[in-house]
Structures are given as C-alpha cells and as structure tokens.
Structure 1
C-alpha cells in the first residue's frame, strides 16, 4: 500500500508539472491581493474541509463508547467553524480565474451527544493548511502545501469516564472503556488534483504524507500515508470555459461522494455521500448548502481510531460508524 500511495503522489506531481506551460505562455501577469474565490474548489463531501456547518447525524451503528446499553448511538450534533481564502494571486491580465495563488484554510470540528443526558462533548479536531494552488485552465487545478490535523478527546467525555487527574501520564489508560489518549496529531505534505470532466461533473484526489505524527500519548505512528478523492455532480454549469457561468436562479441540486483512506487503518475506504441543494455567490465565491448526508467508515474523530503502532489496524478491528443525517454547510 505504501508503494500505491507513492505512485498516486508521483502521478499528481506529473499532472501538475505538465500543465505549467499553458499559464506560462499567457501575458501579462497581474497581481491580485485577496481574491474572492479559490482556484482549487473545496470538496463538498469532504468532512474535514474547513467551513461553517451544523449537522445532526442519526447513528445507525457507533464505535465511540456512549455508555448506552444497546448498539444505537442516538442523535449527535456536529458544529464546524472555518473557511478557505486566497491570500494573493498571480494571474493572466485578461482572466483572474486562472493563475497561481497562495491559499490559507483553517477550521474546527466539534462533536456532541447533545440529545443524551450522560454525555455532551465527545471531542474536537483542528485542521489547517497553507498551499500553493495552480489553475492553468478552467478544467484543471492542483495544490501543494502543508496540512495540520490535531484531534482531541473532549473534557466532558473524559469526565464521564472518571478521569479526574490531568494530564494523564504517558501510556496510562482511562478508568473505563477503551484506551483513548488526549490527542492525535498529523503534520503533512499534501498534493491535490482537481479535474472538471464536464460542465456539471468534477473529480478530485489528494495524497498526504505525515512528516510528524504523534499518536495519543506522544507515540510515533509508523504509517504516515493518507489518500482520498471524490466525485461531484452539480446540476448547473460550473464554468469549464471562460464566460460560462451559472444560469439565473436560486441555485442547483447536487450529489457528492468522498472517500478517505489512512494507511494506519489498512486503507479502509471511509465513505461520505451527500445529496442536497446548493446556492452559489459568483461575486463573493461563497456557497450555502442544505442536504442529507450518509457516512460509513472509521470513527469521525481521529483520536478514537486506536492503532498500537506495530501494524496497521485490520479492517475487522477498525472502530466503524454509520449514520444518516441532515445538515447545512456554508463554504467561504
């Protein structure tokens, strides 16, 4: 699997470099500070893409121990805060929708069991990236940069397991339940690719390699690779050529699917599918969505995905969760 991830990264890099020529041939180059949009479209169904969101997953199966006597995990509440913004862009003077830019993204994801009496905050994750994003044509875009993820168990969750003295000593276990530590960290190189197959269909992929990885109690993780990708169908043209814009109207229906895989979890394909209605602001580059979401994969909070560091977690030992929920998402 390591060789497969390396091949994916090399393929993305080759696609990036072979697409440099079209932009280099265009003159003159204009400097545009703080453009309203981003050259690399953020994935709709990627659960950790920075955005503002509120969703209510109804758990069909759950892995995070909720101290409930049955296997039903109840209804959770997920709150997200964040966004992605272009800082500065170099683009052809005739078209500011193409070029090279420096982009910044940051967000917080929090998960609550707000509809139960005995638990509240499961935990939270902070993520962010700084990347060079490149768009030589209206079909192709790529990005390369640094990505950070830190995942933490919530204090109220720890309190309900009888943990009173903090910090816990290295290697210690909680009083009850499975072994969860306080946090999980990945600092990674990322390489992403996006391609607009048609005016309504887009595919994308991304590979990450963690340069620094702390697992739970400061233990190094030996499986740094992560890969993913997805497919989006927005039933209204997405601008494949200059001048092709959205039709007039409120918005558009969309379908999106995203798959995320971690080497530490034996490349299990955690899958998210969204169906909903999207409203887009061409003047400000923002998107508002409402829809349904289905998920099947490893526990959404990375800190709850235990790996002992000696070998990747086999599929039959991965803490899997499944839910269907409703949500609203606002992409900056």
Structure 2
C-alpha cells in the first residue's frame, strides 16, 4: 500500500511538471531566498557510471560471464548471451531553496524511483524486476561541492523465467532459496569538482565522488527498514571519477568517461567495477543529459535476486539523466 501511495504521488507530481517546463520556474520569494515547488533540477549529480543510480536508460548487454546463466550456456561459448535492461526512472525535486544572489547554490528535498526490468534479449523473457526508491536531502554550499543524505530502498521481484524453466548454472543455484532480498540503506554522499578552482568554466570537467552507506534498524515514515536475508551485513561503500568535455561549438555536444567502484559487506567487500564512455548530445551543462556510450562491468549481479553472484558484461547504453 505504501508503494502504491508513492506511485500516485509521483504520478501527480509528473503531471504538474509538464506545466512547469512550459511556463518556466515557479519561485516563491522568502526574504533573501527563493523556494521552488516541484522541479526536475537537483543540486546533487547523477553518477554516470553507477549502474544502480536513478535514470532513464536502455542497456543492451553482452554477457561475458555469469554465475547464473539461465540455460544460455554463457560460460561455455553459448550463442544466446544477450541481456536487455530497460530502466525507467525519474527524480523529482519536491522543494528547492536557493539564495536570490546565486541560484546555483542551495538545498533541495527530492524523491526518486527507478524500476529496472532485466530480460533475455531475443525473446525478451523477464528475468527480474527490481524497484529502487529513495528520499534525499541535498545541498550545494559551494559551486564545487555537493552533499547529500538519502534513504534508499531496493526490492526484488522474480521474473517469469523461474516458474517454468530451470536454472542451468555452474553453481547449481536455486533462486527460491533467497526469496525477495530487500535493502534499506542510509547513504552519506559527497561530490567535488576540483578543476573549478582554475577559474575557467570550460575546463571544469572533472568530478570525484564518494558514498558511505549503512543499514540502521528501525522504521520511519516510509515504513519498517529491512536488510534481508543478510541481517548483520550493514555497510556499503562507493566511489568514482568522471570527465565531461564539451566542444567549443555548442551544437557538437561533448564526450564523457567515468569509472565507478562499489563494494558491499554482504559480498565481503568484493569490488564491483563499472567503466563507461561515450557521447553527450548538445545540451546545457550539468542539466538533464542525453548520452550514448559503451560500458564494461565486472562485479556482483545487478539483478538484485542474484546480488551474491558474479557477472561480467559489456553493453551499449542510451541514457537520459533526469
């Protein structure tokens, strides 16, 4: 019921966003500050190489290795190794407060939702459908520094492969052993743009970030917090680096390259490595980016049902960071 309420709230907000895009920003003056109600701009950036960040993305993956190969013989020169992942997602700023003297700084409160669907490409059989939801308070005290505190909820839904087809795997893994893993994480995040101090906006192309995540037992307005089936594995860490270079001619767009490393106590802090690079379509910098690129991933399975199993893939991606 709580998830249904969240869907309804986000749907109502999305309807209001259409009017805001057409009419510009609606600001409520509060002394030396402006408050914006409902928007798509955020003070904390989306991580380009984080495969679990909230964005709208389509990823066509070529599996190089998988502990769970779903009868596809991924690890013995099989010919049916594709995965198609469609990830509809949106981030909505509920309230945004900015000083009138510099709208680039301030504080915002936001919600995000992403629902990645993992399919075997070709016949598009559904492997799994996850839900990623978060509530965040973000701040930008300086143009070179962004901070965020967020509560993330990741839940798992088994796809239609498993009721009818067995799993052929080198580890003989039964997906029903761990029904519906769920994680509720608190995450402290910081992102820094060190080249800002050069004083040349065109060369402000580097971003470095880090996350510290932990599970805190208890409940809040989003419901009881869960960490199953690993009830004592509380911590997760993440860091990354990103480069975005835009050509002098604004109609040519730009290029990007990014790397992300994450680790989870539930996986004995084994590193998960994601590398991505590609082309940025012409657009305003640091806004809702449309990009295409190629990705390499080596780490735990991104299908949450198999979070404790390993996979390696390369992928072609089309993404909108919103």
Q: TM-score, normalised by structure 1?
A: 0.75
Question: Who is 2:142 aligned against?
Answer: 137
CA offset at residue 185 of structure 1? Answer: 0.5
Separation of aligned partners in 2, 1:152 and 1:103: 25
CA offset at residue 325 of structure 1? Answer: 1.3
Q: Which of 5, 28, 31 does residue 35 from structure 2 map onto?
A: 31
Q: Which of 62, 85, 93 does residue 86 from structure 1 map onto?
A: 93
Superimposed CA distance per residue, residues 209-231 of structure 1 (whole angstroms, 9 cap, x where no aligned partner): 1233343xxx4521011111111
1:62 equivalent to 2:66? Answer: yes
Closer, same or farther: CA 108–295 of 1 in aligned 2, 3 Å = same
Moved segments of 4+, more than 6 Å: none
Question: Who is 1:19 aligned against?
Answer: none
1:323 equivalent to 2:313? Answer: yes
Question: Who is 1:96 aligned against?
Answer: 103
Question: Who is 2:3 aligned against?
Answer: none
Q: CA RMSD in A?
A: 2.3
Map 1:1-332; keep pairs closer than 5 Å: 28-69=32-73, 71=75, 72=77, 74-115=81-122, 120-161=125-166, 177-180=172-175, 181-198=178-195, 199-211=204-216, 212-215=225-228, 219-236=229-246, 248-279=250-281, 281-282=283-284, 285-306=287-308, 319-332=309-322
More displaced stretch, 225-234 vs 69-78: 69-78
Closer, same or farther: CA 284–259 of 1 in aligned 2, 3 Å = closer
**Contact 1:86 1:104 (8 Å CA) reproduced:** yes
CA offset at residue 114 of structure 1? Answer: 2.3
Provide structure 2 residue ranges, at least 5 long, that are not aligned to the other structure: 1-30, 196-203, 217-224
Closer, same or farther: CA 152–204 of 1 in aligned 2, 3 Å = same
**Contact 1:213 1:220 (8 Å CA) reproduced:** no
Provide structure 1 residue ranges, at least 5 long, that are not aligned to the other structure: 1-26, 163-175, 238-245, 307-318
Closer, same or farther: CA 280–43 of 1 in aligned 2, 3 Å = farther
- The alignment partner of 1:323 has SS state of strand
- The alignment partner of 2:43 has SS state of coil
- The alignment partner of 2:163 has SS state of helix
- The aligned length equals 268
Separation of aligned partners in 1, 2:40 and 2:101: 17
Separation of aligned partners in 1, 2:155 and 2:122: 26
